[in-house]
């Protein structure tokens, strides 16, 4: 049975992934919903203690926070939280789990179409997204089996206020994200970057 480790920060699409993937795979998951704060770097040792396996077959990285405010509206702590969770935590977890990541481990970043566009009032949030995009490119050159999934706004209640504010924004269904991940796991999807 394949071992899959998932990080995320919200309960929406990522719980859907866990609930569907755990039917076939051994799942390790870390998020604030199970009292694990990826911005507290000193707690990363808990992951190491929990992972009793010596190999992660699939690593799904999706811990992020969405902040759409004018730059001057965010204080220094807000800015640090965005960078720490969206960018630095992902780099640290990759380094921390280096001995569990093998040559054939598949690393999947579920990120955002925002990493390819410019949006108003999202300077630091987008900076973190661009950072992960280039990290993924580097990992692809070094480790080969790296995938970057770029959904639009996912069809959950989390974004309901944003949709009402802007009439209708393009959406990606959570089922589409799951289907792409499933195809990556079974080897039917080999593209590095997948826009949804």
For residues 186-191, average pLDDT: 94
Task: Report which of 177, 175, 181 is spatially closest to residue 108, judged by C-alpha positions.
Answer: 181
Domain count, the chain: 1
pLDDT in tens, 146-187: 999 988 665 555 555 454 445 555 567 778 888 999 999 999
The encoded tokens of residue 42 equal 């000193």
Higher pLDDT, 165 or 194: 194
- Checking if the pLDDT of 76 tops 90, the result is no
**H/E run at residue 107:** strand 101-110
Task: Report which of 14, 192, 38 is spatially closest to residue 108, judged by C-alpha positions.
Answer: 192
The CATH number that applies at residue 31 is 3.40.50.720
pLDDT in tens, 80-129: 888 888 888 888 888 888 888 888 999 999 877 665 666 666 677 778 88
pLDDT in tens, 14-46: 677 878 888 899 888 777 666 677 777 677 777
Count of other CB atoms within 10 angstroms of residue 51: 15
Domain that holds residue 166: 3-195
Instruction: Give the dihedral sign, CA 185/187/188/192.
Output: positive
Instruction: Give the dihedral sign, CA 196/87/22/3.
Output: positive
């Amino acid at each position: 049975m394949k071992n899959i480790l998932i990080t995320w920060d919200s309960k929406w699409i990522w719980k859907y992934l866990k609930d569907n993937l755990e039917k076939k795979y051994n799942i390790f998951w870390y998020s604030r919903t199970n009292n694990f704060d990826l911005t507290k770097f000193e707690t990363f040792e808990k992951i190491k203690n929990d992972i009793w396996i010596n190999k992660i077959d699939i690593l799904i990285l999706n811990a992020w926070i969405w902040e759409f405010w004018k730059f001057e509206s965010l204080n220094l702590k807000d800015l640090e939280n965005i960078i720490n969770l969206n960018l630095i935590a992902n780099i640290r977890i990759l380094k921390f789990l280096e001995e569990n990541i093998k040559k054939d481990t598949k690393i999947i970043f579920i990120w955002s179409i925002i990493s390819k566009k410019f949006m108003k009032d999202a300077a630091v949030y987008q900076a973190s997204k661009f950072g992960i995009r280039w990290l993924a490119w580097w990992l692809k050159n070094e480790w080969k089996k790296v995938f970057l999934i770029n959904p639009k706004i996912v069809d959950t209640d989390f974004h309901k206020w944003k949709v009402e504010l802007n009439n209708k924004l393009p959406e990606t269904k959570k089922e589409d994200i799951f289907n792409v991940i499933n195809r990556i796991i079974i080897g039917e999807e080999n593209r590095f970057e997948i826009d949804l």
